[in-house]
């Protein structure tokens, strides 16, 4: 594969003052991108603000001969999102790449989550992706080219105790990116979701309270972390993120996982299921109960490309079973 370069590309990385975002920004700049390094500079639980986080990374980039500008606006407001994108437009006149990455954690039991723990998490992760994503998309559409990477989480895709607020917001990235990818296909804009993995300062707020859930504690205690040893660094996730926002990458509407140096595609798939008898009489609840094993069986998957594809697949399954002509 030829070198992947970002010369003449303008990239925005939100939450780029530390951890994964910093890694993305440094690598994009090293490969020629002009980078808006956005970071509000708050704590790992989203308290406070400081300009130094973004400025430090800008300094690192410029010291290495790259081009970057700091943005200390919050992604969690519409005005903040607009200001972040405006920084790119004012400085370089366009936006080619967005890595929506900013965020923090406020973990608690589902039943105890307060509005102070739900709203800011939804604001920064889910609404923040809209607030930065929409103006960035408009700029990309004007330029006829764009690469968007939304940051999801395996917590949202697969589940994690004490993170209902965060997991729901992160799962939202999948629906958001699917819609953006389909709409963006008309304008040269691709959109994907990354499920990253790295030890970062977010570990500080991973309260071990969730260990009170017996099944989860057992699952965690029996987890095989042997391969992850020394590989849970941002540097192991950076290459996948940077590839996904490169011109070389033609993938869109995907979900990709980076876990300790194993890189893979994740998808919501649909099993073949049970088909109710021919005709327009709906099944009874008891029919669902009687066939629930078949409904639940995870085999013969299909991967609907969009909402309407499910109709075509259902018709095909019904036809194969002689229930539909």
C-alpha dist (Å) from residue 310 to 81, 277, 295, 313: 35, 18, 15, 5
User: Of 106, 90, 89, 111, nearest to 98 (Cα)?
Assistant: 89
User: Of 166, 187, 74, 59, nearest to 119 (Cα)?
Assistant: 166
What's the distance, CA 139 to chain centroid? 20
Q: Measured from the CB atom, is 15 or 317 closer to ligand NAD?
A: 15
SS3 content of the chain, % helix, strand, coil (to 5): 45, 15, 40
Q: Shortest Cβ distance from residue 125 to ligand NAD (Å)?
A: 6
What's the distance, CA 146 to chain centroid? 16
Based on its alpha-carbon atoms, the radius of gyration of the chain, rounded to whole angstroms, reads: 22
Q: Shortest Cβ distance from residue 233 to ligand NAD (Å)?
A: 10
Residue with CB nearest ligand NAD? 19
- Residue-wise DSSP of 234-287: HHHHHHHHHHHTSTT----SEEEEEETTEEEEE---B-----PPSSSPPPPHHH
166 as an active site residue: the answer is yes
Residues lying near ligand NAD in the complex (CB under 6 A)? 14-15, 17-21, 38-42, 44, 46, 53, 74-76, 101-104, 124, 151, 153, 196-198, 200-202
Q: Measured from the CB atom, is 52 or 62 closer to ligand NAD?
A: 52
Q: Measured from the CB atom, is 15 or 184 closer to ligand NAD?
A: 15
Q: Shortest Cβ distance from residue 19 to ligand NAD (Å)?
A: 2
Q: Shortest Cβ distance from residue 230 to ligand NAD (Å)?
A: 15
Helix (H) or strand (E) holding 121: helix 115-121
Q: Measured from the CB atom, is 107 or 253 closer to ligand NAD?
A: 107
Q: Measured from the CB atom, is 44 or 146 closer to ligand NAD?
A: 44
Q: Measured from the CB atom, is 17 or 133 closer to ligand NAD?
A: 17
Q: Shortest Cβ distance from residue 93 to ligand NAD (Å)?
A: 23
What's the distance, CA 155 to chain centroid? 11
What is the side-by-side strand order in the sheet with 97-100?
A: 67-71, 34-38, 10-13, 97-100, 146-151, 189-195, 254-259, 262-266
Beta carbons within 8 Å of 268's beta carbon, 6+ residues apart:
174
CB-CB neighbours of 197 under 10 Å:
22
User: Of 153, 141, 47, nearest to 100 (Cα)?
Assistant: 153
Catalytic one among 24, 131, 137, 166? Answer: 166
Q: Shortest Cβ distance from residue 147 to ligand NAD (Å)?
A: 18
List, by residue number, the catalytic residues. Answer: 166
């Amino acid at each position: 594969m030829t070198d992947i370069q970002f010369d003449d590309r303008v990239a925005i990385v939100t939450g780029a003052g530390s951890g994964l975002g910093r890694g993305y920004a440094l690598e994009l700049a090293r490969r020629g991108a002009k980078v808006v390094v956005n970071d509000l500079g708050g704590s790992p639980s989203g308290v406070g603000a400081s300009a130094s986080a973004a400025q430090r990374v800008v300094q690192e980039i410029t010291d290495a001969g790259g081009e970057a500008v700091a943005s200390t606006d919050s992604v969690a407001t519409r005005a903040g999102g607009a200001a972040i994108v405006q920084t790119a437009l004012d400085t370089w006149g366009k936006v080619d790449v967005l890595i929506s990455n900013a965020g923090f954690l406020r973990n608690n039991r589902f039943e105890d989550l307060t509005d102070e723990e739900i709203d800011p998490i939804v604001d920064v992760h889910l609404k923040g992706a809209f607030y930065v994503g929409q103006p960035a998309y408009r700029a990309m559409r004007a330029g006829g080219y764009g690469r968007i990477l939304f940051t999801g989480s395996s917590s949202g895709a697969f589940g994690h105790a004490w993170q209902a607020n965060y997991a729901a917001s992160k799962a939202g990235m999948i629906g958001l990116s699917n819609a953006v990818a389909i709409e963006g296909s008309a304008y040269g804009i691709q959109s994907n979701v990354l499920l990253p993995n790295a030890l970062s300062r977010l570990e500080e707020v991973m309260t071990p309270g969730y260990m009170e859930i017996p099944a989860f504690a057992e699952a965690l205690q029996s987890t095989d972390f042997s391969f992850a040893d020394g590989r849970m660094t941002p540097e192991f996730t950076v290459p996948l993120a940077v590839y996904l926002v490169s011109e070389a990458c033609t993938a869109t509407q995907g979900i990709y996982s980076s876990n300790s140096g194993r890189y893979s595609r994740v998808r919501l798939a649909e099993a073949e299921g049970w088909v109710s008898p021919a005709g327009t009489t709906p099944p009874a609840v008891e029919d669902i109960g009687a066939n629930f094993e078949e409904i639940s069986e995870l085999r013969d998957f299909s991967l609907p490309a969009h909402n309407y594809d499910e109709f075509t697949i259902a018709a095909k399954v019904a036809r194969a079973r002689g229930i539909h002509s």
